[in-house]
C-alpha cells in the first residue's frame, strides 16, 4: 500500500505485542493487510496499558457513583463536588516500567503525565502524592533506584510548582526487578467549568499544543504491557524525557484558553501519544478524525508516520477548538512560547485517517480501535487461604522496647524525611498538614475548607489474602482521612500486579478488586478514576500484589482538624477499637522474627464505619487533642509516632491479661485508632463510646520526655526519634548491608 514501509510478517506482528488471535481479529476488522503505520497504531491501542483488556471485565464491578461524583472512571481524571461551586479533580497513575529502566526520567514523566491528566480537565493542580515500592535494600540496584526516582519526582514537581505533600515508600525483595512508582495528582476547578475528552461537531479543527514531537518513548506503552527479562536495560530508548518547564507553560496556556472559552474537547497525549489521544477524542464523541502529519511540529528531521503516531514525547495536548476562537487560542499559545498547529479535523465518517506526504498512511475504524478493543476474561485461580496464627504460638524473642526500636528503624516504618525533604511540599502556601502525618491536608483557596489526601496499601496482606488485602487498602485510606477529621469522599486506584496470563496472578487481581469493591461500597467511598499496571514481573517472578488506593476527603472547617502529635502532659491516651493481638502478616512478625506468615487481619467493614464515624464525632466535638490511625506495627508504633512528633512522652499501662504483651502492643487488628484527651473530657468520650457501641480502653497517660512500659527500662523519645530518623539517610549514604 505504501512504499518504504517494512513488510508485515508474523515476527513483526509478534514484536508489536499482538497475539496471533488479536492480529486475526484486526485483519477481519479491516478486511485487508495493514500498513506498517496501522500495525503500530493497533498495537498501541490494543496493548494492556491502553486497552485494559484483561482488567475491564472486573473493573466494572467497582462502585463509581455517589451524589457528589461529577465524573467517574473513563475520563482523564475523576471529578467530585466539594461544595461552594468547586470540584476536586484527581487520579493516580503508574510509571513503573520506565522508572525501573531510567529512574529519574521515568519517575519525572510519571509526575508530568498525571499532572496533565488533571489540568486537561480544567483544574489547577494543588497537590501531588506518590506511592513508591523498591526492592530489598540489600539488592545492588535499590539505592540507585531510590535516589533516581526521588530526584525525578522532585525535579518535575518542584519545577512545575505543585506541592508534593505525601505518599508512602516501602521495600520488599519482590520488587527487586520491578519497582513501583504510582503518582497521584489533585486539582481544583470550578464545578461548571470541567473539560472533557469527548469531541463534538463535524469539521472542527483538531489542534496540537505544547512541545514538539521527537523519537522518544516510541512503544513505551507496549513496553509497559510486557514482562521484563535480563535484556530489559536495553529498553532505555523507550523511556520519555520530561520537561517540567514546558509543562508549566502548557498548564498556564491551557487554563488561559479554557477561561477564554476556546475549547470543545481536550485530551492529553500520554501513553501512545498522538494515536491514543486522537482516537479517544473521536471515539468518545462518535466522530471520525483525520490527521495531517505534515502539520505536526517535530523536533527531529525525517520522522516517519509510524514514529510520529507512536512517539510519547511529553508535554503535548490535543484539542478540538471552537473554530471562531482559533486565532485567540493561537495568540495565547504563542505568548507562552508553545507550539500551536492545526493537525486535523473531526469528520462524520467514524474513520481514523492519517495522511502524510500525500499518502494515506492509515485508514481504520475509530470505534473498534478504542472502545471495542479485545477484552479477556482470563482464567484465574482462587487464592489459597492461609491459616490464622494464634498469638500465643508466637513468642517474642526480645524485650518489647528492643522490638519497638527495631520496628521504627526498619526500612518500611522508618522516617521518610530523606525522601520528602527533596520535594517542595510548601509551595502554594496551603499545606496545612505536611508529610509524615496520617493524611496530608491542603487548604482550599483561603479556607476554611480543606482537602485531606492519602495513599495506602499493605502489599503483604494482599499477597496473603487478596480479598482482605484489597478491603484493607481501602479501609486504611478511609481511616487515615478520618484521623485528621475529614469526611472521606472518593478514591482513585492504581492496581499493580504481575502477569495476568498466569491464573494465580489473575486470581490476585480479581480478588483484590472484589475486596476494594466491597469496602468502597460499605464505606460509601466510590472509585472515580484509576489505572491498571500489569506485567510487573521479571523472569517469571511477579511483584507483591499492590493495589494502591488514593483517597480524598473533605474538612469543612480547618479549625476542627486533628493531628497525630501528643500535645501536652497529663492527658489520657485511649485506644479505640478491639484488639485481639493479630500477628499474622504483621510488621512485627516480618521485622522482629523474620517470618511472613499466616492470614492477614480481617477487615470488618461495619466496625470500620462505626469506629471511624465515632472518631470523626470526637474530633468535631473537640473532645480529642491528638488522633492517629493504627496500622503497620500496631498500637505501640502508633503511640511512639505520636510521641516523636512532639517530644511529649507517655507512661503506658499494663496490657490486658490473656494476651501476650507483644501481641497487644504490635498486633495489627484493623479499625483502630489511638487518641489523646484531656482528663475532663473522658466522661463525655466514654458516654459517647457506650452509646455508639465502640470499644474504648485507656492505655496510658502523656508526660515527660520518655516512653515508659511496665517492667522495662524507660526510653527517651529523643533516642527513639534518632533511630527512626537515621535509617534512611544512613542507608542512602551507603550504610546497612551493602
**Rule CB under 8 A: which residues touch another protein?**
151, 154-155, 158-161, 243-246, 248-249, 336-337, 420-432, 443, 447, 558
Cα–Cα separations (whole angstroms), residue 714 to 86, 704, 721 = 50, 11, 14
Is there a catalytic annotation at residue 724?
Answer: no
Q: Toward another protein, which CB reaches closer, 173 or 428?
A: 428
Nearest alpha-carbon partner for 582 in 479, 659, 695, 679: 659
**Residues with Cβ within 8 Å of residue 189, at least 6 apart in sequence:** 79, 86, 87, 89, 121, 122, 123, 124
Cell numbers standing for residue 85: 461551586
The neighbour count for residue 559, using CB atoms within 10 Å, is 10
**DSSP-derived secondary structure for 664-696:** HHH---SS-EEEEE-GGGHHHHHHHHHHHT--E
Q: Toward another protein, which CB reaches closer, 346 or 430?
A: 430
Q: Toward another protein, which CB reaches closer, 175 or 423?
A: 423
Beta bridge partner(s), residue 590 = none
CB-based contact 72:65 (threshold 8 Å)? yes
Distance between CA 355 and CA 370 in Å, rounded? 20
Q: How far is the CB of 384 from another protein (least distance, A)?
A: 45
Is there a catalytic annotation at residue 95?
Answer: yes
Q: Toward another protein, which CB reaches closer, 147 or 173?
A: 147
CA atoms within 13 Å, Cβ hemisphere of 206? 34
CA atoms within 13 Å, Cβ hemisphere of 14? 3
Beta bridge partner(s), residue 675 = 574, 627
DSSP 653: P
Is residue 711 packed enough to be buried (19+ CB in 10 Å), middle (13-18) or exposed (0-12)?
Answer: exposed
Q: Toward another protein, which CB reaches closer, 486 or 592?
A: 486
Q: How far is the CB of 450 from another protein (least distance, A)?
A: 9
**Residues with Cβ within 8 Å of residue 372, at least 6 apart in sequence:** none
CB-based contact 497:133 (threshold 8 Å)? no
Q: Cell match 514546558: residue?
A: 246
Q: How far is the CB of 283 from another protein (least distance, A)?
A: 35
Q: Toward another protein, which CB reaches closer, 107 or 373?
A: 107
Cα–Cα separations (whole angstroms), residue 532 to 34, 262, 367, 700 = 29, 33, 22, 44
Phi, psi of 715 (to 5 degrees): -130, 135
Q: Toward another protein, which CB reaches closer, 436 or 714?
A: 436
Distance between CA 417 and CA 593 in Å, rounded? 26
**Residues with Cβ within 8 Å of residue 280, at least 6 apart in sequence:** 197, 267, 370
The neighbour count for residue 247, using CB atoms within 10 Å, is 27
Q: How far is the CB of 451 from another protein (least distance, A)?
A: 14
**Residues with Cβ within 8 Å of residue 569, at least 6 apart in sequence:** 648, 702, 703, 704
Say which of 16, 49, 97, 425 is annotated catalytic.
Answer: 49
CB-based contact 728:417 (threshold 8 Å)? yes
Q: How far is the CB of 421 from another protein (least distance, A)?
A: 5
Q: Toward another protein, which CB reaches closer, 429 or 713?
A: 429
Q: How far is the CB of 713 from another protein (least distance, A)?
A: 29
Cell numbers standing for residue 381: 485461580
Q: How far is the CB of 248 from another protein (least distance, A)?
A: 6
Q: How far is the CB of 718 from another protein (least distance, A)?
A: 15
Q: How far is the CB of 331 from another protein (least distance, A)?
A: 14
Q: Toward another protein, which CB reaches closer, 165 or 269?
A: 165
Q: Toward another protein, which CB reaches closer, 423 or 727?
A: 423
CA atoms within 13 Å, Cβ hemisphere of 648? 20
CB-based contact 695:686 (threshold 8 Å)? no
Q: How far is the CB of 122 from another protein (least distance, A)?
A: 18
Cα angle for residues 526, 187, 114 (degrees, 5° grid): 85
Q: How far is the CB of 430 from another protein (least distance, A)?
A: 7
Q: Toward another protein, which CB reaches closer, 205 or 435?
A: 435
For the chain, helix (H) and strand (E) counts, in that order, are 25, 28
Say which of 95, 97, 172, 628 is annotated catalytic.
Answer: 95
- The catalytic residue positions are 49, 95
Amino acid at each position: 500500500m505504501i512504499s518504504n514501509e517494512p513488510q508485515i510478517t508474523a515476527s513483526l506482528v509478534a514484536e508489536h505485542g499482538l497475539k496471533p488471535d488479536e492480529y486475526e481479529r484486526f485483519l477481519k476488522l479491516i478486511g485487508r493487510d495493514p500498513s506498517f503505520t496501522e500495525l503500530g497504531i493497533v498495537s498501541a491501542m490494543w496493548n494492556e496499558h491502553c486497552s485494559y483488556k484483561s482488567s475491564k471485565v472486573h473493573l466494572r464491578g467497582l462502585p463509581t457513583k455517589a451524589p457528589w461524583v461529577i465524573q467517574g472512571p473513563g475520563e482523564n481524571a475523576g471529578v467530585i463536588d466539594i461544595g461552594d461551586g468547586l470540584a476536586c479533580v484527581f487520579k493516580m497513575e503508574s510509571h513503573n516500567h520506565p522508572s525501573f529502566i531510567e529512574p529519574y526520567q521515568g519517575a519525572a514523566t510519571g509526575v508530568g503525565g498525571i499532572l496533565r491528566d488533571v489540568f486537561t480537565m480544567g483544574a489547577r493542580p494543588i497537590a501531588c502524592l506518590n506511592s513508591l515500592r523498591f526492592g530489598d535494600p540489600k539488592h545492588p540496584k535499590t539505592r540507585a533506584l531510590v535516589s533516581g526516582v526521588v530526584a525525578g519526582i522532585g525535579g518535575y514537581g518542584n519545577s512545575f510548582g505543585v506541592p508534593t505533600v505525601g505518599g508512602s515508600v516501602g521495600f520488599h525483595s519482590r520488587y527487586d526487578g520491578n519497582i513501583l512508582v504510582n503518582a497521584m495528582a489533585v486539582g481544583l476547578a470550578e464545578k461548571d467549568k470541567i473539560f472533557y475528552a469527548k469531541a463534538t461537531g463535524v469539521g472542527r479543527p483538531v489542534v496540537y499544543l505544547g512541545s514538539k514531537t521527537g523519537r522518544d518513548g516510541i512503544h513505551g506503552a507496549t513496553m509497559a504491557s510486557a514482562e521484563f527479562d535480563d535484556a530489559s536495560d536495553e529498553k532505555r530508548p523507550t523511556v520519555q524525557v520530561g520537561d517540567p518547564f514546558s509543562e508549566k507553560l502548557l498548564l498556564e496556556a491551557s487554563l488561559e484558553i479554557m477561561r477564554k472559552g476556546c475549547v470543545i474537547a481536550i485530551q492529553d497525549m500520554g501513553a501512545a501519544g498522538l494515536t491514543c489521544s486522537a482516537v479517544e477524542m473521536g471515539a468518545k464523541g462518535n466522530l471520525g478524525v483525520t490527521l495531517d502529519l505534515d502539520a505536526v511540529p517535530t523536533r527531529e528531521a525525517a520522522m516517519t508516520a509510524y514514529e510520529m503516531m507512536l512517539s510519547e514525547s511529553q508535554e503535548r495536548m490535543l484539542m478540538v477548538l471552537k473554530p471562531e476562537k482559533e486565532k485567540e487560542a493561537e495568540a495565547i499559545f504563542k505568548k507562552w512560547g508553545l507550539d500551536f498547529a492545526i493537525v486535523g479535523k473531526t469528520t462524520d465518517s467514524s474513520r481514523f485517517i492519517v495522511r502524510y506526504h500525500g499518502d494515506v498512511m492509515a485508514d481504520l475504524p475509530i470505534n473498534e480501535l478504542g472502545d471495542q478493543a479485545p477484552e479477556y476474561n482470563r482464567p484465574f485461580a482462587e487464592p489459597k487461604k492461609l491459616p490464622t496464627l494464634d498469638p500465643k504460638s508466637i513468642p517474642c524473642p526480645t524485650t518489647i522496647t528492643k522490638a519497638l526500636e527495631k520496628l521504627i528503624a526498619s526500612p518500611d516504618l522508618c522516617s521518610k524525611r530523606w525522601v520528602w525533604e527533596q520535594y517542595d511540599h510548601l509551595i502554594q502556601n496551603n499545606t496545612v498538614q505536611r508529610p509524615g502525618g496520617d493524611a496530608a491536608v491542603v487548604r482550599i483557596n483561603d479556607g476554611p475548607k480543606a482537602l485531606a489526601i492519602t495513599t495506602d496499601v499493605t502489599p503483604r496482606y494482599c499477597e496473603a489474602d487478596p480479598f482482605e488485602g484489597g478491603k484493607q487498602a481501602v479501609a486504611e485510606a478511609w481511616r487515615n482521612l478520618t484521623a485528621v477529621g475529614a469526611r472521606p469522599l472518593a478514591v482513585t486506584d492504581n492496581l499493580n500486579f504481575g502477569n495476568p496470563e498466569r491464573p494465580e496472578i489473575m486470581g490476585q487481581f480479581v480478588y483484590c478488586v472484589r475486596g476494594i469493591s466491597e469496602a468502597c461500597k460499605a464505606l460509601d467511598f466510590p472509585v472515580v478514576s484509576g489505572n491498571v499496571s500489569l506485567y510487573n514481573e521479571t523472569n517469571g517472578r511477579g511483584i507483591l500484589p499492590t493495589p494502591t488506593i488514593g483517597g480524598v476527603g473533605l474538612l469543612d472547617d480547618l479549625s476542627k482538624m486533628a493531628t497525630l502529635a501528643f500535645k501536652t502532659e497529663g492527658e489520657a491516651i485511649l485506644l479505640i477499637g478491639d484488639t485481639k493481638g493479630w500477628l499474622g502478616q504483621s510488621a512485627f512478625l516480618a521485622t522482629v522474627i523474620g517470618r511472613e506468615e499466616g492470614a492477614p487481619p480481617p477487615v470488618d467493614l461495619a466496625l470500620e464505619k462505626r469506629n471511624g464515624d465515632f472518631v470523626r464525632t470526637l474530633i468535631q466535638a473537640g473532645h480529642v487533642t491528638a488522633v492517629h490511625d493504627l496500622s503497620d506495627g500496631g498500637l505501640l508504633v502508633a503511640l511512639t509516632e505520636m510521641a516523636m512528633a512532639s517530644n511529649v512522652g507517655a507512661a503506658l499501662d499494663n496490657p490486658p491479661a490473656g494476651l501476650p504483651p507483644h501481641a497487644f502492643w504490635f498486633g495489627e487488628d484493623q479499625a483502630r485508632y489511638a487518641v489523646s484527651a484531656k482528663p475532663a473530657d473522658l466522661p463525655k468520650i466514654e458516654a459517647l463510646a457506650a452509646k455508639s457501641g465502640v470499644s474504648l480502653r485507656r492505655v496510658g497517660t502523656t508526660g515527660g520526655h520518655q516512653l515508659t512500659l511496665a517492667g522495662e527500662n524507660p526510653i527517651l523519645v529523643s533516642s527513639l526519634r534518632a533511630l527512626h530518623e537515621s535509617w534512611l539517610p544512613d542507608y542512602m549514604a551507603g550504610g546497612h548491608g551493602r
